[in-house]
Amino acid sequence: MEVTRSNFLQLLPSIKEAIAKCDFIVIDCELTGLNTVNNINAFDTQKQYYEKVRRNSKDFLIIQYGLCMFRYDVDKKVYKQQGYNFYIFQTGANKFVPDHRFLCQSSSLDFLSGSGFDFNKLFKEGISYLNSNEEEKCRASLSDAQKVRANKLHNNSFTPEKCNQAINDEDKELVNNIFNEIRDFIASDKEEHVLPKCNAYIRRLVYQQAEAKLANKASLETRALENRDHVLVVTRLKSKEDREAMNRKVVEREEEQLRQSIGFASVIKAIVESVRFPIFF
């Protein structure tokens, strides 16, 4: 079965169950390249052979991971199999995913393309992943950011960032227009309002004046859209409780984003945790 970003979380429980219950697993990978291993010889042990191939493949990327779990059916005396084919790719769609550089080899891409590999699906629908180091770093930085925010909330300050940037006339007009829009929103009965798209610099200028100009009537938040644009969202604030509830929502969203970024790594973890059988290379 083909697994992409769209159906991964839905299929994950049954994949983990199949891993936990199987007798053995067969793994196959597609890579962006494969250096010819010149130093392999007939006297290499399996371990030496594996190490050499591994060393030569390290700069390339695994882009498809085939996993097949086999389980012996005692009654029918046959092996039953459950197979999955994962498109995997680390996208920069959220702040947790590192922006990797990796090698490709023309002939490998040519071979994959000739075999019908769908590169558009890979880059659009590939499942993200973080290795354990990356995951640890992300958890630490997220935890720090959440503590800073909780502290600000406790001290009645909701501005995500304090800065004091000089502002030119042209930008001043832009920022004033945004605050006029925010004032209209406050005067309305809407709960939330998405501000017109503006760049990171303008967003910073808006944040810089938010605390003084909004007087705890509304809260600002930067939100990443599906199309990778970033927009400012202004939300009505009624009480400290409301702000705390909103912060909890943000924390939930961040945790969900981190879970999605870890993505395919949970399959690898499930395999590692379930190892009750020898590993053959």
* Binding interface with its own copies (CB under 8 A): 32-33, 35, 61, 89-93, 97-107, 109-114, 118-120, 122-124, 227-228
Residue pair 271/25 in contact by the 8 Å Cβ criterion: yes
Q: Tell the smallest beta-carbon distance from residue 96 to its own copies (Å).
A: 13
- For its own copies, the closer CB: 118 or 221: 118
- For its own copies, the closer CB: 113 or 156: 113
Strands (E), 22-77: 24-31, 62-73
Q: Could you give the angle at the alpha carbon of 254 between the alpha carbons of 252 and 255, nearest 5°?
A: 65
- For its own copies, the closer CB: 129 or 158: 129
SS3 assignment, position 16: helix
Q: Tell the smallest beta-carbon distance from residue 108 to its own copies (Å).
A: 9
Residue pair 204/162 in contact by the 8 Å Cβ criterion: no
- For its own copies, the closer CB: 9 or 93: 93
Provide the pairing of β-strand 78-87 with 2-3. Answer: parallel
- For its own copies, the closer CB: 50 or 111: 111
Residue pair 20/270 in contact by the 8 Å Cβ criterion: yes
Closest by CA to 270, choosing from 2, 95, 11, is: 11
| Structure-token match 């929103």, residue found | 185
DSSP 8-state symbol, 189: S
Q: Tell the smallest beta-carbon distance from residue 265 to its own copies (Å).
A: 16
Q: Tell the smallest beta-carbon distance from residue 99 to its own copies (Å).
A: 4
Q: Tell the smallest beta-carbon distance from residue 155 to its own copies (Å).
A: 35
